[in-house]
Structure 1
Amino acid sequence: MRHEHIETNSALMLLLILVVISIGGLVEIVPLFYINDTIEKVDGVRPYTPLEMRGRDIYVREGCYLCHSQMIRPFRDEWLRYGHYSLAAESQYDHPFQWGSRRTGPDLARVGGKYSNQWQVQHLKNPQSVVPQSIMPRYPWLLENDLDYSDVGARMRALRATGVPYSLVQQEYDANVKRFGKDIADQLDISQGQESLLKQARDKNFDGLPNRVTEMEALVAYLQVLGTMVDFTKYEEGYFAKFR
């Protein structure tokens, strides 16, 4: 009779469902705050440079995550196609993370360095010109629009508030030098954000336009860093051996 009372009372049923979900969520989430190794320590993982960070902003703005995941699962078919499975540490500076929930297009967790800058630019301008069977839409405006980097410092400060180690004071800068090396620490200095962005754009010339910094340049810079921070040869032998 009690079961019938619950099943015929929609308000009570909804309340009990919320209670059960809340208890289950707490059981799953709370222990993570007390586990020191929830995110494993992996050499090489660093925050994005200002140019890469702005490229990630554009990636999110254009909704790329709706068709492309950035999480390779530890299954044979996954690593045969995409490479080593994703590590939690790789997403520790992503706010929000880009794991995705579907793959209309391929996973991009290891796309960095897989293709040249010129290929990436052409692919974003006209995907079918390099992959005829692609159903991806075109993004020609990325090459037409100059990148707005006037607020890059404010964006870095906002991410710093979430735990990303961009530096504001000398002590933070020194810690980054020790952790990431001076070259990277210089790029993570908020006071040098715009200069760092322009220097990387000038040195790498991701979009092929040396006299401009476009949204295309930032997005390609972001794509080219995905999956390149970690030396996966340190992990592959032990993990993949069991599949051979």
Structure 2
Amino acid sequence: MFGFHYRLERSAMGLVLAVIAAGSVGGLIEIAPLFTIDETVEKAADMRVYTPLELAGRNIYIREGCYACHSQMIRTLRDEVDRYGPYSLAVESQYDHPMLWGSKRTGPDLARVGGKYSDQWHVAHMINPRDVVPVSKMPRYGWLAQNTLETEDLGLHLKAQRRVGVPYTDEMIANAQADAYGQTAPDSEHAKGVAQRYGEATQVRAFDGDPGRVTEMDAMVAYLQILGRLTDAAHSPADKTAEAKR
């Protein structure tokens, strides 16, 4: 066995071919199941897309590297379910491009953080994590409350998401900038459009506590508050899956 390996190492071409063969086997095992993904991924009739503001928050979450310390995938282990809530379903990441499941947990898993804390808690936590969690190792992100959110190109972000399968309509894309503002200003004329396009249950309020302008803090908190709430499928997976198949 070792003699064959030593001879293979002395042959550059042979070693290259062996690496390609080994990689092909691993690739086939990982890729082949994807051809049946439509049959294996659950369907959820109540699944909705991210609003422009929530999508902007997700982009900031990625920009700031939050995924390096927080996962968004609750496994089926009993201790994880007891701590974080119902285990994650594939359908919940249906519109996540890229997905943010992760495996590193310097901080807690965030798959079910939506609605767990108030907007004020999240704002305080972003400005100085030690104010609400004394032992937190998380760095400060106070500048998010100072930075005005760039909304001019949100329509392009929605259009890019549609190219990879997210069902944004032409109307959603055309009104992306107005909807981002409307979601943070419940008393404005744009707020009604948000509810019409994304559903009456859409959270519309000044997430950072200041309705005067749209900040990156608004976007980040809006995103965190929707995590685990795009669909209720995980809270009753058997019932929801059966209903979707009918």
With the length of structure 2 as denominator, give the TM-score of the two structures: 0.83
Tell me what 1:104 maps to.
Answer: 106
The aligned runs of 1:1-244 (5 Å cut-off) are: 1-9=3-11, 12-168=14-170, 189-203=172-186, 204-231=205-232, 232-235=234-237
Distance 1:68 1:236 in 2: 28
Whether the 8 Å contact between 1:32 and 1:38 is mirrored in structure 2 is no
In 2 relative to 1, CA 80–21 (structure 1 residues): closer, same or farther, beyond 3 Å? same
Distance 1:210 1:28 in 2: 47
In 2 relative to 1, CA 233–93 (structure 1 residues): closer, same or farther, beyond 3 Å? closer
Q: CA RMSD in A?
A: 1.8
1:87 offset after TM fit, Å?
A: 0.5
SS of the aligned residue for 1:217 comes to: helix
1:236 offset after TM fit, Å?
A: 8.2
Distance 2:37 2:119 in 1: 40
1:9 offset after TM fit, Å?
A: 4.3
Whether the 8 Å contact between 2:74 and 2:86 is mirrored in structure 1 is yes
Whether the 8 Å contact between 1:71 and 1:85 is mirrored in structure 2 is yes
1:36 offset after TM fit, Å?
A: 2.6
Runs (4+) of structure 1 moved beyond 6 Å? none
1:64 offset after TM fit, Å?
A: 0.2
Distance 1:12 1:99 in 2: 38
Tell me what 2:244 maps to.
Answer: none
Tell me what 1:176 maps to.
Answer: none
Show CA shifts across 1:98-144 (max 9, x none): 11131000000000000000000000000000000000000010000
1:15 offset after TM fit, Å?
A: 3.5
Give 1:206's aligned amino acid: F
Q: Any gaps of 5 or more consecutive residues in structure 1?
A: 174-188, 238-244
Whether the 8 Å contact between 1:127 and 1:136 is mirrored in structure 2 is yes
Tell me what 1:179 maps to.
Answer: none
Distance 2:238 2:123 in 1: 31
Give 2:231's aligned amino acid: V
Whether the 8 Å contact between 1:84 and 1:236 is mirrored in structure 2 is no
- After alignment, is 42-51 or 197-206 more displaced? 42-51
1:14 offset after TM fit, Å?
A: 4.4
Give 1:119's aligned amino acid: W
Distance 1:43 1:112 in 2: 20
Distance 1:165 1:69 in 2: 25
Distance 2:103 2:14 in 1: 32
